[in-house]
Amino acid sequence: MVSVRSKNKRGSPLSPLLSNNQGAALWLLSLLTILGLSSLIMGLDWQGYMAQPTAFLGSKALLAVQGPEPSFVATGYAFPPLLVYGSALVRSPVTVQVLCGAVLVGTIVRTMGRLEVARFWQILWSALLLLHPALGLMLLRDPTWVATTLLLLITTRLLWQILYPQDLPLNFLVVLVGLSASGLMLLRFEAWWGLVFILITLWCLLWQETWQYRAAALFIVGTMCLFAIGTCVYLNWLATGNPLAFLSQPGSGIRLPGLDSFLVQAGLGESILKILRWMLQIAPVYLLVMLWLMGRTQAPLQVGLIIALPIVLLLINLWEGLYTPNLSQFGVYLALLPLLLEQLPSRQSWRKLLITLGLVLSLVSSGWVLQTNQVIPDEILLWRQLTHQALPELQPVQAYHQMTIEQRTIATYLFQMGQPQQHILMDDRLHFPILYLLHHTEGLILPHQYEFEVALEEPEQWVNLIVVAGAQSPLRMQDAVRRPLAQQRNIDPEAQEGLTLPGFKTVFDFPNYQVLQRL
């Protein structure tokens, strides 16, 4: 077996990047990352960009914190629960995003600083990683993937230490794997299926132990993960009466309404091929290092299983039909790369050059993917905004851009109109970006409330403003306000025409949204 441990000396003279006063340097780096990420996100917001995942988490956090009651009915089935309640706790998903991002960047730089290569290579590789669009986009737009990456990083490192024990006791590592894997269950639905893969990996890693020990380890990790899954299921049942409500109910977050038209699904074989193609296109260096490590160890199966964990998650994502073509999720591989490089001695120049080449290739191909608009509009918007480029003339991108403009306009109007006595009727499950932009829930009448049905029955008596899906919105059939109101007025809800109500005037009649105000 390759002695990875022996190549892994901390504080080696060859790791000068953070060798002096590592702790202080890390703190400084984390602080800089926090400041940098916060400034960037605020700057983007100022320019009109709002990421859909952030908006979803933010709206659910608002509901949990501010109500209206019973807020749990609206939040209990939201996925991922860990980030929904985490955001509620710190009052903002951006805070969670920035904190997780800072830890992630700190970990990447710290790991790179420990590589047994010259400072030049450490800096070069760190720069190539941090400049990689996939990692950058992930840090800026998707708190869920940032948190997932962080937990995957921890899990992978723990699994690695189980394979090549260092100073921590084996029992302790297994316990920690249980804790970190259970966190994954509360972040990504595909991790529920991935649990089987994690358990198989663990079984293989503990091949030297007795079968009782291995079974016990699986029991431990499995139990904690099942607790996490059970928690999620229980919350769903408590909130909606359906333990798996998050899979089907709109506004659960597992498929964001604005992005569900971009969802991709494929069979298992096709999924594998597609994933491999994307991997080769966006993160070939990960595959390169993976094969390298497997080739030089006496436990290629175990090494392969550990490294394949994020790939398997992506595969399940596609197989389950939860995949949207976005670059952010490939940030996982970039973030994990330093950990793999740490296990790979790269003394020979040709190896260093090959890794550099792989990183440059990843960087360039990712830029090309973005530049050729092969990803979801949300990311195209962000990329163009970051690079100060004009938006492409593609219909989906333009439509998406139009929708975001409408959301901001409506949110601003509602904010200006929103007096304590003003009651606004809307379906927050679909129009969560407006709720997030509005940043308060006072006066809202939402589907989870007891008053909602009453307000629908007699809107002219109870409601001041109504926000519904626009005539051209693909969401108009799902809108819990538009549909019953249309039915009441004998209007075909599917018809691409605006909604009119007696006693209300139309304030905005956008393609995606319509706002009615009581006369």
Partner 1 sequence: MSDRLTQLGFYLISRGYISPEHWQLVQHVMVQTLQQNLDQLDLTSQSQFSREIAKRLHQSFIAGWLQIPGHNIDQRLAHRFSTQQLLKLEFFPCTLSADNTLAIAVIHFDHPEITQVIHQVWPGVTLNQLSITKNQLLALVMSHRLGRLPQFCEQLRQSLLTKDFQGIDSPFVKALARSGYIANQIYQDQVDRQIWQQMEQRLTPAQQREIQGVQARTGSPLGDIMTRLGYLSELDYQDRLNQFAKLPIISMLVGTDLLEVDVQLSQTFKPREMMDHHFFPLAWVGQHSLQVVVRNPYNSEVESIIHRQFPQTEVIKVLGTERDITSLLAQYFHKDFSERAIYRLLKRAPHESAARVFTAPQLLILYGLSVIGVWLLFYHFWGTLASIMLVLNLFFVVAIGFKLILSVQGLKVRQPTHGQWETLNFNPQSLPIYTVLVPVYNEPEVIPILIEALRQLDYPQEKLDVLLLLEEKDKVTLEASRAANPPGFVRFILIPDSQPKTKPKACNYGLVFARGEYLTIYDAEDIPDPDQLLKAVWAFKNGPPNLACVQAALNYFNRDENFLTRMFTLEYSYWFDCLLPGLEAFQFPIPLGGTSNHFRTDLLRQLGGWDPFNVTEDADLGIRASQRGYVVGVINSTTYEEANCQTKNWIRQRSRWIKGYMQTWLVHNRNPWKSIRKLGFKNWLAYQFFIGGTIVAFLSSPLLWLIYFYWLLTRETWLVHLFPSWTLYLSLVCLLLGNALGIYLNITAVFRRKYFQLLPYALLNPIYWQLHSMASYMALWQLFTKPFYWEKTQHGLSKVKKQTG
Could you list the residues that contact partner 1 (CB under 8 A)? 64-65, 67, 69-72, 85, 88, 168-169, 171-172, 174-176, 178-179, 212-213, 215-217, 219-220, 223-224, 227-228, 230-231, 234-235, 238
Structure tokens given for 516 = 């009615």
With tokens 């538009």, the residue in question is 482
> What is the closest distance, in whole angstroms, from the C-beta atom of residue 201 to partner 1 in the complex?
18
Please state, in angstroms and as integers, the Cα–Cα distance from residue 332 to each residue in 86, 336, 377, following that order: 21, 6, 20
Structure tokens given for 52 = 């859909």
> What is the closest distance, in whole angstroms, from the C-beta atom of residue 105 to partner 1 in the complex?
24
For partner 1, the closer of residues 67 and 367 by Cβ is 67
> What is the closest distance, in whole angstroms, from the C-beta atom of residue 199 to partner 1 in the complex?
15
With tokens 């706002």, the residue in question is 515
Please state, in angstroms and as integers, the Cα–Cα distance from residue 135 to each residue in 44, 140, 201, 243, 331, following that order: 17, 9, 26, 34, 4
Task: Give the whole-angstrom CA distance, residue 185 versus residue 151.
Answer: 10
> What is the closest distance, in whole angstroms, from the C-beta atom of residue 428 to partner 1 in the complex?
17
**What residues pair up with 506 in beta bridges, in sequence order?**
516
For partner 1, the closer of residues 41 and 64 by Cβ is 64
Contacts of 422 (CB under 8 A, 6+ apart): 443, 464, 465
For partner 1, the closer of residues 195 and 369 by Cβ is 195
For partner 1, the closer of residues 26 and 220 by Cβ is 220
> What is the closest distance, in whole angstroms, from the C-beta atom of residue 64 to partner 1 in the complex?
7
> What is the closest distance, in whole angstroms, from the C-beta atom of residue 195 to partner 1 in the complex?
15
> What is the closest distance, in whole angstroms, from the C-beta atom of residue 36 to partner 1 in the complex?
30
> What is the closest distance, in whole angstroms, from the C-beta atom of residue 143 to partner 1 in the complex?
19
Task: Give the whole-angstrom CA distance, residue 488 versus residue 391.
Answer: 41
Structure tokens given for 439 = 């940043």
For partner 1, the closer of residues 63 and 336 by Cβ is 63
For partner 1, the closer of residues 236 and 517 by Cβ is 236
Neighbours of 388 (CB within 10 A): 7
For partner 1, the closer of residues 235 and 363 by Cβ is 235
With tokens 């679909």, the residue in question is 430
DSSP state string for 175-221: HHHHHHHHHHHTT-THHHHHHHHHHHHHHHHTTTS-HHHHHHHHHHH
For partner 1, the closer of residues 28 and 238 by Cβ is 238
Handedness of CA 34, 37, 41, 47 (dihedral sign): positive
Neighbours of 210 (CB within 10 A): 9
> What is the closest distance, in whole angstroms, from the C-beta atom of residue 245 to partner 1 in the complex?
16
For partner 1, the closer of residues 71 and 404 by Cβ is 71
Task: Give the whole-angstrom CA distance, residue 348 versus residue 346.
Answer: 6
Task: Give the whole-angstrom CA distance, residue 206 versus residue 217.
Answer: 9
DSSP state string for 218-231: HHHHHHHHHHHHHH
3-state secondary structure of 445: strand
Integer-rounded Cα radius of gyration of the chain: 25
**What residues pair up with 516 in beta bridges, in sequence order?**
466, 506
> What is the closest distance, in whole angstroms, from the C-beta atom of residue 219 to partner 1 in the complex?
5
> What is the closest distance, in whole angstroms, from the C-beta atom of residue 172 to partner 1 in the complex?
5
Q: Are 104 and 157 in contact (CB under 8 A)?
A: no
Task: Give the whole-angstrom CA distance, residue 456 versus residue 397.
Answer: 34
> Minimal CA–CA distance to 182: which of 81, 329, 304, 87?
81
For partner 1, the closer of residues 6 and 212 by Cβ is 212
For partner 1, the closer of residues 182 and 366 by Cβ is 182
Amino acid at 320: E
For partner 1, the closer of residues 224 and 340 by Cβ is 224
Structure tokens given for 352 = 């260093």
> What is the closest distance, in whole angstroms, from the C-beta atom of residue 231 to partner 1 in the complex?
4
For partner 1, the closer of residues 51 and 186 by Cβ is 186
Helix (H) or strand (E) run with residue 426 in it: strand 424-426
> What is the closest distance, in whole angstroms, from the C-beta atom of residue 444 to partner 1 in the complex?
16
CA 381 to chain centre: 17
